[in-house]
């Protein structure tokens, strides 16, 4: 089961992408203003994400459908 974490985008430089689903930062979803990034992992929590709020798929889909992450503009 995948687990999701949202952190400030500048923290992505500390990610070990070998422990994440996305292979590098360019594949990771970012908030519309670019200030936040979504990290996805399977299994144990990577040490660089410990202490961050974790979400399951249902929770993250609700968050990502909000105005900070999606736009109604075409």
Residue partners of 63: CB distance under 8 A and separation at least 6: 6, 55, 69
Residue partners of 61: CB distance under 8 A and separation at least 6: none
Q: What are the pLDDT digits (tens) for 17-70? A: 999 999 999 999 999 999 999 999 999 999 999 999 999 999 999 999 999 999
Predicted local confidence at residue 71, as pLDDT: 87
Is residue 5 a contact partner of residue 52, using CB atoms and an 8 Å limit? yes
CA distance 35 to 49: 17
Residue partners of 20: CB distance under 8 A and separation at least 6: 28, 39, 40, 41, 46
Please give the model's pTM, rounded to 2 decimal places: 0.90
For residue 73, is pLDDT > 90?
A: no
């Amino acid at each position: 089961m995948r687990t999701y974490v949202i952190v400030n985008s500048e923290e992505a430089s500390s990610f070990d992408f070998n422990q994440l689903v996305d292979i590098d930062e360019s594949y990771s979803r970012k908030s519309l203003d670019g200030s936040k990034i979504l990290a996805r992992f399977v299994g144990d929590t990577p040490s660089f994400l410990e202490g961050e709020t974790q979400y399951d798929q249902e929770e993250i889909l609700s968050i990502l459908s909000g105005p900070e992450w999606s736009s109604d503009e075409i």
